[in-house]
Structure 1
Amino acid sequence: MKVLFIGGTGIISEAVSKLAVETGIELVLFNRGQRQEAIPDGVRLIRGDIRDTAAAAEALRGESFDAVVDWISYTPEQVQPNIELLRGKTGQYVFISSASVYQKPATHYRITESTPLANPYWPYSRDKIACENVLLDAYRNDGFPVTIVRPSYTYGDTSIPASLNSWRHPWSLVDRMRAGKPIIVHGDGTSLWTMTHNTDFAKGFVPLLGNMNAIGHAFHITSDEVLDWNQIYRAIGKAAGVEPKLVHISSEFIGALSPDHIGGLLGDKAVSVVFDNSKIKSFAPGFTATVRFQQGIERSVRSFEAHPGKCTVDAEWNALMDRIIGAYQSSLPMN
C-alpha cells in the first residue's frame, strides 16, 4: 500500500509511522519537516503546510494513495479543505479524533463506539465532534471514504503522562516528585482511567489502513488495563525511584484557579472510563495491548535520563502547582 500521513511525527503517529514501514507500507509524510529525527528510514517527506491549500494541492499534484491519515486537524474549518483537496486522490481518509468526544458526564462507565458524543466542558472535544460530523456528512452524501479513530491518553518514550503535567516540559513532574514536592491528584484519585502506549496503539491502527470494511466506521484503540489515578501517579513515582507525596484536590477547585484545566479534567480525566475494545479487535484480529503502564512509564523515564537535554523543567507550571496547593491548604478549616 501507499499511504500518506498528514503530520506523522507526533507522540502517537511516530510509533504508527515506524510500524507501518516495518509492515511494508510505502509511507509518505506531508509536514513542515521540523522533526526529522522522528521520521523512519525509507519514508518519503513532502515538505509543506496543509493549511496552505493552494501550495498543498501543487505539492500533491499527480499523487494518489490507498489511504491518507490526517493527524493534525482540529476544527471543521481545517477539515473541510482537506475533503476537497483529497477527493479522488485516496481510497480512504482516516481522521484522528479523540476519545474525549464521548458523553460527559457519562451515563455509563463502559465506553463503546456507540456511546453518545457530547462534551460541554471542553471546546477541543466539541470541535472534534464537529469535524466528525462534517466528514460523516461527506461520507453519507458524497461517498467520501472516511474512517474515524479516537485515541484516548496515548503516551510514548518522549512523554510523562499524567492529569496535571507540563505539556512542553514533561520531565517537570518527575523532577517535582524527586524534589519531594507535593503532587496534585484530581479528586480522591479513585476514578478509573486507561493509559495506552503508542506502540500498542500502532498495532491496532495499522490494520485499519486500506481496510475498505472500515470506511464509514469509528473506532477507539486503547489498552485494556484499567487503573485509578492514585495507581498511575504511584507508578510514575516508582519509575522515578520515589514515593510521591500525593495531595488530593477536587477538579472544580483546580479549575477555579486554573481555567485552562477545566476541559482536560471535567471534560476528560476526572470521569471514570473503561473502553470496550471489541470493535477494533474484530477489525484487527489478534490486536492486544501488551505494554502495562508500569513497564511503559519506566521506559519513558529511562529514555529521558538517557537524553539529559530533554530533562527540562517548567518553572511556570511548578509555580501554578504550588499556588493551587497553597490556596487549597488555606481553605481547609483550622483545627
Structure 2
Amino acid sequence: MGRALVIGGTTFMGYQLVWQLLAKGWQVLVLNRGNHADGFGGKVERLVVDRRSAEFVRVLADQWFDAVVDFACYNRRDAEGTVAALRGRVGHYVFISSGAAYLVRDGIDVPVTKALSEADYPGPLSSPPSTPDDLANWRYGAGKREAEDVFEKGWQIERFPATRVRLPIVNGLRDPERRLESYLWRIRDGGPLLLPDGGVGLTRHVYVTDVVRALASLVGQAHSIGRAYNFSQDEDISLQELVERLAGLLGAPARIVPVSVSAIQDAGLELRMVSPLSGKWASRLEAKAAKRELGFVHRPVDRYLEDMVEGFWTQDTPPQGYAWRSAETVLAKRLG
C-alpha cells in the first residue's frame, strides 16, 4: 500500500480511519500536537507538532507520503501551510471539508431548503451575519471554503494532488460533541425532551463508519484528484422522527415538548446543549457524484441508529449539556 499520514487522527473519524488503513496494510503516521492519548500503541509512528508553527515544514521535510488525509485544516492559512509543507512530497492529499462551505455562499438559504450538490458550490462568499452564534458558524464555513479554494488553485497551477471531501453532521458514538447521544440520555430518563419548533425541520446526516470506509477506499484513487465530493446519506428525516425512532429502539416513550428558540434562550439555556441537532447551520448534501465515481455507499438510517443504541448502553457518563437537565424540566412544566 505505502505510507499514509493522518493529520489529526486521535478522535472519532481520524481514529477509526487509522485502524482501517492499518487493516489494509498501510504504514501509518499520525501528526498532531500530542495532547491526547491515541491508543495505537506501537502500530503507528507519531509526528508531534503544531501545524501552524514553523516546525511543521521542518518535520515533514525529506519525507514522502503516498497518501495524506487531513482532518485538522480549517482555513486559508492552514491550507497554504499544508501546500508548502507537502509540495512534491505526497501522492494523494485528501482534505476533509464540510457542508458548511456551501452555507456561506451567496444565494444559499440558511437553513437550507434543498439537498446541495457539488454544482451548488461556485459563487461569491455571503456577507457575515451579525449575531454571535451565526457569525461563529459562518466563520467556520468560510474558513473551510477558503481552504478548499487554496487546494483547488494548487491543483490547477502546480498539480498539488488534492481531493476535497465535504461532510454533513457525522453521527457516531465517538462523536466528541455527543450530539445524537444527547437525545438518548433524555429519552432514557423519561423526562420531557425539548425540541425547537417541534423538530419538524429536515435533517440529512451520515454515519461515521460509512465515511471512514469510503475514505480508506478513496486514498490513491487518482481520478478523484482535483475534484470535490459530498459524502452523505440519501434520506431526509425530521428531527422529531429521528428522536421517535431512537425512542422505539430504546423501548421508551419520547416525551417531545415543542418550544421556541427564544424560550430556550430566555430560560438561560443554550440551544446546542438542549438540542444539539437543531441548529440552522446544518447542511443537507447530495452524494450522487461520490456514489457514481467513488463507489460510496451508506447504511440506512434505521440500521445505524440500531448500532448507536446498542453502543449507547455502554456509556456511563452523560454529555456536557445534560448538566442543565433540571432547568429543561422546569421550562417544559412552564410551557404546560
TM-score by length of 2: 0.80
- Return the match for 1:105 from 104, 109, 112: 109
Partners in 1 of 2:251 and 2:158 — Cα distance?
55
Q: Note the residue ranges of structure 1 that are not aligned, 5 or more in a row.
A: 160-165, 331-335
Per the alignment, residue 13 of structure 1 pairs with 14
**Cα gap change, 1:323 to 1:193, in 2 (>3 Å):** same
Deviation at 1:206, TM superposition (A): 2.3
Partner of 1:280: 290
CA positional deviation for 1:321: 4.1
Change (3 A) 1:127 1:326: farther
**3-state SS of 2:56 partner:** helix
User: In the TM superposition, what is the alpha-carbon distance from 1:215 to its structure 2 partner?
Assistant: 1.4
Asked if the contact 1:169/1:311 (under 8 Å) is kept, the reply is no
Q: Contact 1:235–1:293 (CA<8 Å) still a contact in 2?
A: no
Mapped contact 2:9–2:18 kept (Cα < 8 A): yes
| Matched letter for residue 282 of structure 2 | D
Alignment of 1:253-332 (within 5 A): 261=272, 265-268=279-282, 273=284, 275-285=285-295, 287-290=296-299, 292-308=300-316, 310-311=317-318, 314-318=321-325, 321=328, 325=332, 329=335
- Contact between 2:191 and 2:255, CA under 8 Å: does it hold in 1? yes
Residue 114 of structure 1 aligns to a residue whose secondary structure is: helix
Contact 1:251–1:266 (CA under 8 A) maintained in structure 2: no
Contact 2:52–2:78, Cα closer than 8 Å, also in 1? no
User: Residues 172, 201 of structure 1: CA spacing in aligned structure 2 closer, same or farther, 3 A cutoff?
Assistant: closer
Q: Which residue of 2 aligns with 1:238?
A: 248
Does structure 1 residue 205 correspond to structure 2 residue 215?
Answer: yes
1:87 matched to 2:93? The reply is: no
Q: Which amino acid aligns with 1:93?
A: Y
Q: Give secondary structure in 2 for the equivalent of 1:267.
A: coil
Give the superposition deviation at 1:84.
0.9
Secondary structure in 1 matching 2:54: helix
Does structure 2 conserve the Cα–Cα contact (< 8 Å) formed by 1:181 and 1:245? yes
Find the aligned partners of 2:198 and 2:179 in 1 and give their Cα distance: 26
C-alpha distance in 1 between matches for 2:323 and 2:315: 22
RMSD between superposed Cα atoms in Å? 3.2
Shift of 1:265: 1.6
Task: Map 1:137-286 onto structure 2 (within 5 A).
Answer: 137-159=153-175, 167=177, 171-251=181-261, 261=272, 265-268=279-282, 273=284, 275-285=285-295
Change (3 A) 1:230 1:45: same
Pair 254,218 (structure 1): closer, same or farther in 2 beyond 3 Å:
farther
Deviations 1:180-226 (A, max 9, x none): 22212233423222232111112322232122211111111112233
Q: Equivalent residue for 1:128? A: 144
Rate the CA distance shift 1:217–1:317 in 2: closer, same or farther, 3 A. Answer: farther
Separation of aligned partners in 1, 2:250 and 2:49: 39
* Structure 2 Cα separation of the partners of residues 323 and 147 of structure 1: 49
1:127-159 CA deviation, whole Å, 9 max, x = no partner?
211221222233333332221111111122334
Q: TM-score, normalised by structure 1?
A: 0.80
The unaligned stretches of length 5 or more in structure 2 are none
Q: Is the 8 A contact 2:193 2:256 kept in 1?
A: yes
Matched pairs, number: 314
